[in-house]
Structures are given as structure tokens and as C-alpha cells.
Structure 1
Amino acid sequence: MMPPETHHASCVALGDSAVLILGAAGRGKSTLALQLMALGGVLVADDRVRLWADGDRLLAASPPAIAGLIEARGAGILKAACQPRAEVALVVDLDQTEDQRLPDRDQIRLCGCDIPLIKRIDGPHFPAIIVQILKAGWSDR
């Protein structure tokens, strides 16, 4: 097994599945994580995420020093319930914006694992889309 990689990202779990949120500094990773937590998600990690492969599964965890902490711009560092690890089922790239109504599905390879990828979707429904993907996935239609 390869040693874990640390990525500048946030990660939130919903049940057994998690979303890994990527983006440059100030892009809104922690803000999106807080929105997902308000919809029932549980923080895995904020600011830095440890990632490693377990077979074809991508696992995520927080570095111990920041476990259970999330930055809320304008409010400071907040405490949060924290899930110790989760399987990443979806990656969100906040550096890119989706401009297609029905985009083709994309993937990203992390730690040798291919994970579904979506770009930022402008609109208040974006966190709900992520929750629904984690709960039920995509239609084959």
C-alpha cells in the first residue's frame, strides 16, 4: 500500500459515501462543506485531506491535528462532529464551472483510483445535487 497523500481539499461524508472538494485557496471549499453539513453530511476533513487507495476504493481522513475543525470565513475555526474516515465516491472541482445543461460524466484519477468528477454548478441547488448524487447516483437515461 502506498503512503497517504495529503491534498488541499475538504471532505464531507453522507452515510458510507463522501465527496472530496478540490479548489484553489478562497474558492469556497469550506463554505460548500458547511452547506453539505447543514444538509446532514458529516465532516471528514477541512483544509487538508489524507487520501489513500485500498484496492479500487479511495479513502479519506483528516490529519489528526485538524480533525473535527472547519474554517468558517468571517466566523473563525468551528468545532464539528467528525467521521474518522470515508470512501470518496465523488470529487467536486471548484476551479471549473459547468456550463452544459446535461454534461458528459467525467472522472479524475487520485491515488490510482478513478472517481466521478463534477465541476462547480452556479446556483443554490449545487449542495443538494451533491447530496442526491451521494444518496442515489446518476440515471442511466
Structure 2
Amino acid sequence: MAFASFWLWRCSREPAPETPASHASKLFDWRAAGIFAMLVAALQLVGAAVEVWLGEAGLIAISAGAGLADAHAVATSVGALVATGKLDAGAAAMPVLAGLSTNTVAKIAAARAGGSQWFAGQVGMGLLAAMAAAWLTALGVPGIP
């Protein structure tokens, strides 16, 4: 994590090189990948610390907050806690759903900010339907596999 932090700091200090127009659109952004990797590592560290200090309730809270930025990092961090035996697999659903729920709210807000109200409504309906199915499944509602 220290090396990644140093590398990102060094890259941010260097001026961007001039690239020909043919290379202007690349499929992979190293800076974004580095930031994402650091986010995942930091969430795993913070998630483990919060889980030790505050238990499952603290983990749900930190997962909900982190979900505003990235639901995948939350799921990866909680999965790592389960894989290392620091969290029971049965207790993993609520932190993941908390992160996914706040991420859904952030996506709907981004859809509204970047598009029309109609677009946000269409995006929101799909996302909310998926969230409802996830929550109903996790809560064990009869008739939902």
C-alpha cells in the first residue's frame, strides 16, 4: 500500500506526456486502477479494524458509507473477512447489502445529475427492483429462493 501511495503521488507530480491522437483513447487507465486497488486495500483494513472494535454493527455502518463510492470494494472486503475466518459467512450478507444499497442511491443520483428525470426514473426502477430482490432473498422471504 505504501508503494502504491508513493507511485500515485509521483505520477500526480509529473506532467502528462503528449500523446498522438491515435493513442488518445486507451482501454486501461493505470491511475484509476491504482486508485481502485488502494480503495479496496483501505476498505479491507478499515473493515477489519471496525469489525474488531465495534462488531457487526460497525461493519454494516462502514460498509454503507463505503458503498457510496464503490460496492465492489465493499463486497471484496467483506469476502476477505469471511475467507480469513474473521466474519461468519451468515453475517456477511448485511454489510454487503448495506454497501450495495447506498451504492444504488448514488447511482440513481448520478443518473439524475447526468441525464433527464425520465432517464433517472428508468435507471432507478431497474436498480430498485434489483435491490428489492436482493433484500427479499437475504431476509428469507417465503417464496423467494
State the TM-score, normalized to the length of structure 2: 0.23
Structure with greater contact order relative to length (CA < 8 Å, sep ≥ 6): 1
State the TM-score, normalized to the length of structure 1: 0.23
Higher helix share: 2
